[in-house]
Amino acid sequence: MTKYKNNDHSKQKMALAFCLIIILFTNCNNKNTSKIKTTETAIAELTNPPFVPIPIGNRAAMKLVVSMEIIEKEGELADGVRYIYWTFGGSVPGSFIRSRVGDEIEFHLKNNPENKLPHNIDLNAVTGPGGGAASSFVAPGHEVVFSFKVLNQGLFVYHCATAPVGMHIANGMYGLILVEPEGGLTPVDKEYYIMQGDFYTKGSNGAKGLQQFDMAKAIKEEPDYVVFNGKVGSLTGDNAITANVGETVRLFVGNGGPNLVSSFHVIGEIFDNVNIEGGSLINHNVQTTLIPAGGSTIVDFKVEVPGTFILVDNSIFRTFNKGSLAMLKVSGNANKNIFSGEKYDTVYHPEGGTIQEMPAYTYETKTPKPTTLKERIAEGQSIYNNNCFACHQITGLGLPNAFPPLANSDYLNKDANRAIDFVLKGHSGEIRVNGKKYNSVMTAQVLNDEEIANVLTFVYNNWGNSKKDISTQLVSKIRNMK
């Protein structure tokens, strides 16, 4: 009873309680995880992109031995374009590391004796100075070992931090380490590892041969290539990631930079869940999510319909001109309730604002349907200039390694039905035009049969092509062949 009467004492108690609450709140993220005990030891499974190690599930925290070798090696940045990559584990991005909160990681970093330079590793998952960089500096032919406890859950970037740091990152020295919460992430059917990066070469985009790193362009932040997983086409055609209708897909997406921020989007899908910036905050129903340079995101979604879904950096010139395009191929049965495919196609002429004022005038000047070959070619040219030129260029010459030429194209001239099919349905996969390989994506063009007939007639009657006259009837026939 006397205690309650003692005012001073109760004030002290209150202050103490208040302090405790503050300590609890500020420490709640790390309090438990730093105390988690580890007893068993295991060798960490490391994977090259686009694959990830098996989920941690509900295993207890343990001592995890990560053994990674830095390898400087020549590889292909784009068709016919070679580049000397500096890699963690032989791939760009580097090997994926999968752990859980409370794990104690014993990191063995080896620098291959054939390498020319010293390197190190800075893991954003490390709580400690330099993220391990200072303790991991390693010369060619040496191995360093350091260890750390993972306290925070999330998807973290690791990278080399040896000077010049920007150059080491630009050459491919980045990767991801996932720290799962206790009990693991919600299980999904498919998981993949994708990381964006920007590359700077002495020659401009498409210039063949072994390309040197260009420091001046890197400083100006003007990359020649922006790619997923280290090269143009790393995840297209036969290399596309896959899933089946009805499955849930989780993507661990990082952005190594060194410079650009990514606006990550999957064409034709909406992310059900997004772990914003790879952290614990979850957003739903997202179309495009930002990934900072040196940051990450985890997205998941259910694939409901079959088809090829295109993954892009939605800063769209990067995608169609610099390489940041990947594919997810979904197989299974169509679901017409969710996506009907094309039902019908009619000409849409929005009424202009002038129609109320001068209806008669509007009707009188309505452009007559082009009928003669000459009129149809002229009409086709304007369709070309609105729909095709961005990729195939106004000259019809295309762009090396990205968009095939329509000018003097042996591929075009060989088979008109196939050309119509390209415009109707789009195309992806490897083709050979005038002796050069192209392995990219042409999107289906939203044009009616007459417009397709006219644009192709324009193409065939220009640039040294075979002067075919493509009829609307032929386009309709091919459209209905499906």
Rounded Cα distance between 359 and 63, Å, is 80
* Rounded least distance, CB 330 to ligand HEC, Å: 18
Omega within 30 of 0 (cis) for the link into 50? yes
Interface with ligand HEC (CB under 6 A), residue from 438, 450, 457, 460? 438
Chosen from ligand HEC, Cu ion, none, partner binding at 84 (C-beta under 5 to 8 Å by type): none
Rounded Cα distance between 84 and 210, Å, is 8
With CA atoms as reference, report the closest residue to 30 among 182, 179, 195, 151.
151
Which of 221, 238 has the CB closer to ligand HEC?
238
* Rounded least distance, CB 457 to ligand HEC, Å: 10
Residue 131 binds ligand HEC (CB under 6 A): no
Residue 267 binds ligand HEC (CB under 6 A): no
Among the residue ranges 112-120, 242-250, 381-389, 435-443, the one whose residues contact Cu ion (CB under 5 A): 112-120
Rounded Cα distance between 251 and 242, Å, is 12
Which of 110, 168 has the CB closer to Cu ion?
168
- Per-residue tokens: 118: 């010293």
Interface with Cu ion (CB under 5 A), residue from 52, 173, 303, 442? 173
Residue 227 binds Cu ion (CB under 5 A): no
Which of 72, 449 has the CB closer to ligand HEC?
449
Rounded Cα distance between 446 and 423, Å, is 9
* E strands present in 303-418: 307-313, 325-331
Among the residue ranges 36-44, 97-105, 267-275, 417-425, the one whose residues contact ligand HEC (CB under 6 A): 417-425
DSSP state of 44: P
Which of 231, 392 has the CB closer to ligand HEC?
392
* Rounded least distance, CB 328 to ligand HEC, Å: 17
97-100 vs 81-88, strand pairing mode: unpaired
Residue 227 binds ligand HEC (CB under 6 A): no
* Rounded least distance, CB 289 to ligand HEC, Å: 23
Angle between helix 373-387 and 449-460 (nearest 10)? 100
Among the residue ranges 130-138, 245-253, 272-280, 455-463, the one whose residues contact ligand HEC (CB under 6 A): 455-463
Which of 92, 232 has the CB closer to ligand HEC?
232
- Per-residue tokens: 438: 């192209």
**Alpha-carbon Rg for the chain in angstroms:** 28
The length of the chain in residues reads: 482
Residue 303 binds ligand HEC (CB under 6 A): no
Residue 119 binds Cu ion (CB under 5 A): yes
Q: Are 162 and 70 in contact (CB under 8 A)?
A: no
SS3 content of the chain, % helix, strand, coil (to 5): 25, 35, 40
Interface with ligand HEC (CB under 6 A), residue from 218, 330, 441, 470? 441
Chosen from ligand HEC, Cu ion, none, partner binding at 162 (C-beta under 5 to 8 Å by type): Cu ion
Omega within 30 of 0 (cis) for the link into 93? yes
Interface with ligand HEC (CB under 6 A), residue from 229, 439, 454, 465? 439
* E strands present in 240-381: 241-244, 248-257, 262-267, 271-275, 282-286, 288-291, 295-302, 307-313, 325-331
Which of 69, 76 has the CB closer to ligand HEC?
76
- Per-residue tokens: 281: 């905050």
Interface with ligand HEC (CB under 6 A), residue from 68, 155, 327, 388? 388
Which CA distances in Å does 348 have to 344, 345, 451? 12, 9, 13
Residue 463 binds ligand HEC (CB under 6 A): no
Binding site for Cu ion (CB under 5 A): 119, 160, 162, 168, 173
Binding site for ligand HEC (CB under 6 A): 320, 387-388, 390-392, 403-406, 409, 411-412, 419, 422-423, 427-429, 431, 433, 438-443, 445, 455-456, 459
